[in-house]
Amino acid sequence: MDLITVKDIYKDRDKYMDREVTLGGWVRSVRDSKTFGFIVLHDGSFFETMQIVYSDSMDNFTQISKLNVGAAILVTGTLVATPQAKQPFEIQAREILVEGESAPDYPLQKKRHSLEYLRTISHLRPRTNTFQAVFRVRSLIAYAIHKFFQERGFVYVHTPLITGSDCEGAGEMFRVTTLDLENLPRTEDGKVDYTRDFFNKETSLTVSGQLNGETYAQAFRSIYTFGPTFRAENSNTTRHAAEFWMIEPEMAFADLEDNMALAEAMLKYVIRYVMEEAPEEMKFFNSFVDKGLLERLQGVVNADFAHVTYTEAIEILEKVNDKFEYKVSWGCDLQTEHERYLTEQVYKRPVFVTDYPKEIKAFYMKLNEDGRTVAAMDCLVPGIGEIIGGSQREDSYDRLTARMEELGLKPEDYEFYLDLRKYGSTRHSGFGLGFERCVMYLTGMGNIRDVIPFPRTVNNCEL
Amino acid sequence: MDLITVKDIYKDRDKYMDREVTLGGWVRSVRDSKTFGFIVLHDGSFFETMQIVYSDSMDNFTQISKLNVGAAILVTGTLVATPQAKQPFEIQAREILVEGESAPDYPLQKKRHSLEYLRTISHLRPRTNTFQAVFRVRSLIAYAIHKFFQERGFVYVHTPLITGSDCEGAGEMFRVTTLDLENLPRTEDGKVDYTRDFFNKETSLTVSGQLNGETYAQAFRSIYTFGPTFRAENSNTTRHAAEFWMIEPEMAFADLEDNMALAEAMLKYVIRYVMEEAPEEMKFFNSFVDKGLLERLQGVVNADFAHVTYTEAIEILEKVNDKFEYKVSWGCDLQTEHERYLTEQVYKRPVFVTDYPKEIKAFYMKLNEDGRTVAAMDCLVPGIGEIIGGSQREDSYDRLTARMEELGLKPEDYEFYLDLRKYGSTRHSGFGLGFERCVMYLTGMGNIRDVIPFPRTVNNCEL
């Protein structure tokens, strides 16, 4: 179909002015008087709507005037400037064809609906202003992330979703199986016989692509993953989803400084991209979802991120321990309240906290010379706390196996991973960015269920 | 670390010529004579290697000369042109630091290894020429697809992986569960009690994002998905994987013609992008993997794709039925041999076959006026057969429910999907592109296991 979009018109109005165009879209509202009427049309291509003026010179004037919200129409008419009106232009319709009517019980009416209600109709909520803005911005953020890494020569690696490794924290993993649960095959000693399962063993959904990603960084130097990850955590909060997307870059020949420089550049790039590509949506969030959003994001783009070691951060926080529900002391993990205090009150800009005690970080992080901290970094941002977590990886075969044994991990379960330290090991680093957390941060949306098209959470797997 | 990459040098040699640079990379080979030696260095940034010349003026001359294949080194030296030599330039090293040695049992030696062997070391195979080429091109194809859709205003939608719907063909789906299989909770009548499962019901891994994608097309007009899909099919072939990625665009206000135009433009765009961005890799495939690849791809870019209806295609094929293992007649599904005959022998270019009998296509495809065919299209390309399958979707509530009932599907299981036909239905279309099939097509690789970083197939879920 040879249609013009609302976006085409907003982006290049001179090209279409005073000409006849045909648009397809959905009715947001209809008002009519005896001889003419107005339609607010949204066509999904752009945040703003288009005003359509129609008159009783049309045969189907009455049909049009009775259209319900949500009806799909095809409008042919002339684009004219309306310098006196609120909107910059309108279309004076010559013909309006009804593509699909909207039944009287259409669940979205002109009034404002609550986010809670809209969650119950996840197939229709993208038609509302809020979710038009959220999911267009989500798409733009995803693309900006690809663009950022591709422009820097990073190779995009699809790490696997189904994993046979239970090394990643089995307690919180979803099992994947084709066994008939009503009729499980058993081994001689009565256990479930996983050799009869699809993969001939127990398999689960991955919680991170990092270990696989590292193998590709040792071949391509700089890689990133961007794919779904899963957590079977029984947490019914505004920040946890069972299925979410992660970005995990990994760089060979890169230390913790390089890692932080990459994270800072990436965040700034993505924020700039979205502010340029979706100014209407960002203005909407700033007005209706999170006042102060644009100022905060602009602050991130303009600031040099601060740096502080965990040990220094603890000294700072201990002095104001009376402000906190959880009191800090060296060795404890930082809670959101501490993170936000550091970034919002102390530094008033994003801050990297580095060199955490090894006990509160993962086994693969590089041991510092002090023997008690590791080359980890968390990036904290105002309004949210931790948004990125990363580290330089332990590149010494001996130190890595020693640490595994300390923690009761079996080196033979990680043979492929240890091989990377045996054959051309390099200092290397990477981090993880939870994609939904990033979308929440850039839109100001407060509930992870509202930034995922069809969210999966405890007891909830609709559509 | 302040390193230059091999790619930097190849892309902007003048900037670095006769200057000192530092590279980090992995040793592909070392040759030494008494007083000097040559290293072939690969740094993962670029398909080509860099020759390093070093001499016994270095303290660690002996250490360097003994390095095994795969060792990681840091080289500082001067880039000089070598007009007489095979390679355009080399680095005359002033200093070489060993970043990580490579143990003597390194599984990749200079000789050529078989693809079968390399599959057993999926964490190391990306260090070989073939897999450097495959996985860089895979990354570029993925990005080209995003770029194509984003430039056209399509919204990228992350459709869910875990699904509660068993409408998609339950037999071939993986179950997802957190129930303890050794100790399954039971209902009073002895069945497995899925209300105790994580999502409070039975859940599986998705086989397609299309139905969810359609809901977003009816809001954003043009959307695409690009994510993993799963098939628990017991097919141990060179073309089936249990986990693979799919691209599924969906457009409102678009008929079958628009759909084919989009598919043709996308394929051409992606081929052009990869030929421009990875000429070294494509040349490699053309020489060592699939002679004729470049000519074939160039042919696709330059051709206007042909169009033929299924009914016409059957007439053509019936005349040469003696050539085929499976004889064709109206109503049968086309096999690869028929598809390849059409595109390679009859049209000698890509061809869209349209309007298939409704019995061999999915329930959601739009019924044509003849009452016996649907507005489906498959895109067939030389060398492979079907690469894309799509359709215009049934947009009539009544016809869609009628078709569901004919097929024994329960309309109440598809309520959200039927809502799209109830509230502002539009003619709309979309297609599916199997990403791995696309990678195989563009690289000439013959086994799907060799275009997925860590493939998952029957009885195989390693690393």
Q: For A210, which DSSP code? A: H
Instruction: Enumerate the residues of chain A whose CB falls inside 8 A of the CB of residue B164.
Output: 461-463
What is the pLDDT confidence band of residue B168, given thresholds at 50, 70 and 90?
A: low
Closest chain A C-alpha to B25 CA, distance in angstroms: 8
CATH of the domain at B286: 3.30.930.10
A333-360 residue pLDDT tens:
999 999 999 999 999 999 999 999 999 9
The residue of A176, A427, A439 whose CB has the most chain B CBs within 10 angstroms, and thus the best one to mutate to test that interface, is A176
Distance of CA B267 to the CA centre of its chain: 12
Domain shared by A86 and A143, yes or no: no
Contact yes or no for A149/B447 (Cβ under 8 A): no
pLDDT, one tens digit per residue, over B421-439 is: 999 999 999 999 999 999 9
pLDDT mean across residues, chain A: 96
Phi and psi, residue A429, nearest 5°:
-145, 160
**Nearest-CA residue of chain A relative to B196?**
A459
Chain position carrying tokens 């984003």: B150
Q: What is the helix (H) or strand (E) element at residue A268, kind and residue range?
A: helix A256-277
Do both A57 and A144 map to the same domain? Answer: no
Provide the token pair at B217: 């097309």
Q: Is A22 on the interface with B (CB under 8 A)?
A: no
**Interstrand relation of A36-42 and A20-32 (parallel, antiparallel or unpaired):** antiparallel
Residue from A45, A198, A412 whose CB has the most chain B CBs within 10 Å, to mutate: A198
User: Which pLDDT tens digit goes with each residue over A202-243?
Assistant: 999 999 999 999 999 999 999 999 999 999 999 899 999 999
Whether the CB of B158 is below 8 Å from some CB of chain A: the reply is yes
In a domain, A373, yes or no: yes
**Edge-to-edge strand order for the sheet containing B203-205?**
A162-163, A203-205, A175-177, B175-177, B203-205, B162-163
In the structure, what pLDDT confidence band is assigned to residue B166 with cuts at 50, 70 and 90?
low
Cβ distance A237 to A446 under 8 Å? no
Amino acid type, B33: S
Chain A partners within 8 Å of B462 (Cβ): 164
Angstroms from A297 CA to nearest CA on chain B? 23
Q: CB–CB of A212 and B453 under 8 A?
A: yes
Beta carbons of B366 and B390 less than 8 angstroms apart: no
A392's enclosing H/E stretch is strand A385-392
Place of tokens 């990228």: B156
User: pLDDT at position B109, please?
Assistant: 85
Q: Kindly report the backbone phi and psi dihedral angles of residue B429, in degrees, each rounded to the nearest multiple of 5, phi listed first.
A: -145, 160
Distance between B127 CA and the closest CA of chain A, angstroms? 5
The reply to whether residue B174 touches residue A199, judged by beta carbons under 8 angstroms, is no
The tokens describing B352, both together, are 């869209």
Whether A408 is in a domain gets the answer: yes
Cross-chain Cβ contact A424/B26 below 8 Å? yes
- Which among A44, A161, A462 is the nearest to B221, CB-wise? A44
pLDDT of residue A112: 87
Which of B21, B127, B198, B236 is most worth mutating to test chain A (most A CB atoms within 10 A of its CB)? B198
Could you tell me if B36 lies within 8 Å of chain A, comparing CB atoms? no
Nearest to B216 among A201, A221, A453 (CB): A453
Using left for φ > 0, alpha for ψ between -120 and 50, and beta otherwise, residue A279 falls in alpha
Q: What is the mean pLDDT of chain B?
A: 96
User: Is residue B238 situated within a structural domain?
Assistant: yes
| pLDDT, tens only, A48-70 | 999 999 999 999 999 999 999 99
Which of A26, A71, A139 shows the shortest C-beta gap to B156? A139
Strand partners, A389: A378, A432
The pLDDT, as a whole number, for residue B391 is 98
Q: What is the 3-state secondary structure (H, E, C) of chain B?
A: CCCCCHHHHHHCHHHHCCCEEEEEEEEEEEEECCCEEEEEEECCCCCCCEEEEEECCCCCHHHHHCCCCCCEEEEEEEEEECCCCCCCEEEEEEEEEEEECECCCCCCCCCCCCHHHHHCCCCCHHHCHHHHHHHHHHHHHHHHHHHHHHHCCCEECCCCCEECCCCCCHHHCCEEECCCHHHCCECCCCCECHHHCCCCCCEEECCCCHHHHHHHHHHHCEEEEEEEEECCCCCCCCCCCCEEEEEEEEEECCCHHHHHHHHHHHHHHHHHHHHHHCHHHHHHHHHHCCCCHHHHHHHHHHCCCEEEEHHHHHHHHHCCHHHCCCCCCCCCCCCHHHHHHHHHHHCCCCEEEEEEEHHHCCCCECECCCCCEEEEEEEEECCCEEEEEEEEECCCHHHHHHHHHHCCCCHHHHHHHHHCCCECCCCEEEEEEEHHHHHHHHHCCCCHHHCCCCCCECCECCC
Residue A457 lies in a domain: no
Share of chain A above pLDDT 90, in %: 94
Q: At what angle do helices B279-288 and B256-277 cross, to 10 degrees?
A: 90
Burial of A162 (0-12, 13-18, 19+ CB in 10 A): buried
**Number of Cβ within a 10 Å radius of residue B100:** 23
The CA distance from A377 to A380, in Å, is: 10
| Residue B45 in contact with partner chain A when CB distance is under 8 A | yes
Question: Do residues B157 and A453 make contact, with C-beta atoms less than 8 angstroms apart?
Answer: yes
Tell me what pLDDT residue B110 has.
78
CB pairs under 8 A between A and B: 324
**Which residues sit opposite B42 in a β-bridge?**
B26
The alpha-carbon gap from B364 to the nearest alpha carbon of chain A, in Å, equals 17
Which three-class secondary structure string do you get for A85-105?
Answer: CCCCEEEEEEEEEEEECECCC
| Domain-located, residue A216 | yes
Q: What are phi and psi of B127, to 5 degrees?
A: -85, -5
Q: A228 and B228: CB-CB below 8 Å?
A: yes
Q: Which residue of A has its CA nearest to B429?
A: A1
Cβ–Cβ below 8 Å for A220 and B44: yes
Distance (Å) from the alpha carbon of B134 to chain A's nearest alpha carbon: 11
CB contact under 8 A, A124 and B419: yes
What Cα–Cα distance (Å) separates residue A63 from each residue in A91, B253, B398? 19, 21, 21
pTM for this predicted structure: 0.98
Min Cα–Cα distance to chain A from B462, Å: 7
> Is residue A170 pLDDT above 70, yes or no?
no
CB burial string B320-349: b at 16+ within 10 A, e below = eeeeeeeebeeeeebeeebbbbbbbeebeb
**Residues A250, A355: Cα–Cα separation, whole Å:** 19
Q: Which of B136, B215, B454 sits opposite A123 (nearest CB)?
A: B215
Any B CB within 8 A of A226 CB: no
With an 8 Å Cβ cutoff, is A42 touching chain B? no
Tokens of A199: 């993969």
> What's the CA dihedral at B87, B93, B96, B99 to 10 degrees?
-40
pLDDT (mean) for B226-255:
96
**Which two structure tokens, joined as six digits, stand for A414?**
């990680």
| Sequence-distant (≥ 6) Cβ neighbours of residue B379 within 8 angstroms | B260, B263, B264, B267, B305, B350, B351, B352, B386, B387, B388, B389, B390, B431
Task: Report yes or no for ipTM above 0.90.
Answer: yes
Q: A90 and A51 in contact (C-beta within 8 Å)?
A: yes
CB-based contact, B452 to chain A, within 8 Å: yes
**Which pLDDT belongs to residue A167?**
58
Identify the CATH number of the domain in which residue B36 sits: 2.40.50.140
Residues of chain A in contact with residue B219, where contact means CB-CB under 8 angstroms, are: 44, 124, 126-127, 131-132
- The span from the CA of B186 to the CA of A150, in Å, is 50
* Region at B91 (left for phi over 0; alpha for psi -120 to 50; beta for the rest): beta
Among chain A residues, the shortest Cα distance to B184 is held by: A181
Residues B86 and B131 in one domain: no
d(CA B171, CA B154): 33
Number of H helices, E strands in chain A: 14, 16
Q: Is A200 on the interface with B (CB under 8 A)?
A: yes
A116 touches chain B (CB under 8 A): no
Residues 371-390 of B with CB under 8 A from A: none
Q: Please check whether residue B392 touches A, CB under 8 A.
A: no
Is the domain of A89 the same as that of A10? yes
Tell whether A15 is within 8 A of chain B (Cβ): no
Per the CB < 8 A criterion, the answer to whether A379 and A305 are in contact is yes
Q: Is A172 helix (H, G, I), strand (E, B) or coil?
A: helix
Which of A253, A429, A435 is best to mutate for the B interface (most B CBs within 10 A)?
A253
- How far away is chain B from the Cα of A363, in angstroms, using its nearest Cα? 18
The distance of B289 to chain A (nearest Cα, Å) reads 21
Nearest Cα to Cα of residue B404 among B4, A225, B185, B412: B412
Could you tell me if residue B370 is inside a domain?
Answer: yes
Retrieve residue B44's tokens.
């993962």
pLDDT (0 to 100) of residue B383: 87
Ordered DSSP codes for A27-50: EEEEEE-SSEEEEEEE-SSSSS-E
Backbone phi and psi for residue B269, each to the nearest 5 degrees, phi listed first: -60, -45
Residue A295, C-beta contacts closer than 8 angstroms, at least 6 positions apart: none
Mean pLDDT of B317-346: 97
Q: Determine the average pLDDT of the residues in B433-458.
A: 97
pLDDT at B419: 98
Q: In terms of domains, do A71 and A138 share one?
A: no
Total domains, chain A? 2
Calculate what percentage of chain A has a pLDDT beyond 70: 99
Q: A60 with A151, same domain?
A: no
* Pair of tokens at residue A240: 């946890």
Q: For residue B26, which residues of chain A lie inside 8 Å, CB to CB?
A: 424
Domain that holds residue B14: 6-100
A152 lies in the same domain as A69: no
B461/A contact by beta carbon, under 8 A: yes
CB atoms within 10 A of CB A319: 9
Cα of first residue to Cα of last residue in chain B, in angstroms, is 30
CB contact under 8 A, B164 and A419: no
Q: Is residue B161 part of a domain?
A: yes
Chain centre distance of CA B200: 34
Specify whether B156 is located in the same domain as B84. Answer: no
- Distance (Å) from the alpha carbon of B319 to chain A's nearest alpha carbon: 36
Q: What is the average per-residue pLDDT within B81-85?
A: 93
**B424/A153 touch (CB, cutoff 8 Å), yes or no:** no
Asked if B139 reaches chain A (Cβ–Cβ under 8 Å), the answer is: yes
- Do the Cβ atoms of B463 and A232 come within 8 Å? no
On whether any CB of chain B is under 8 Å from the CB of A240, the answer is no
Examine the domain organization and report whether A39 and A147 are in the same domain: no
A131, A160, A215: residue with CB nearest B243: A160
Q: Between chains, do B175 and A174 touch, taking CB under 8 Å as contact? A: no
Cα distance between residue B156 and residue B226, in whole Å: 8
Per-residue pLDDT at B259 exceeds 90? yes
Residue B391 lies in a domain: yes
Which has the minimum average pLDDT: A47-61, A159-173, B76-90? A159-173
Q: For residue range A390-411, list pLDDT tens digits in order.
A: 999 999 999 999 999 999 999 9
Give the residue from B419, B24, B367, B257 showing the smallest Cα distance to A426. B24
Q: What residue spans of A278-396 are helical by DSSP H? A: 279-288, 293-302, 310-318, 336-340
My answer on whether A292 and A148 are in the same domain is yes
How large is the average pLDDT for residues B176-198? 96
d(CA B101, CA B26): 10
Instruction: Quote the pLDDT of residue B165.
Output: 78
Residues forming beta bridges with residue A74, ordered by sequence position: A24, A97
Q: Are residues B151 and B35 in the same domain?
A: no
Neighbours of B434 (CB within 10 A): 21
pLDDT value of residue B170: 47
Paired residues of B27 in beta bridges: B41
Interchain CB distance below 8 Å, A416 and B184? no
Claim to verify: residue B28 and residue B162 sit in the same structural domain: no
A225 vs B: CB within 8 A: no
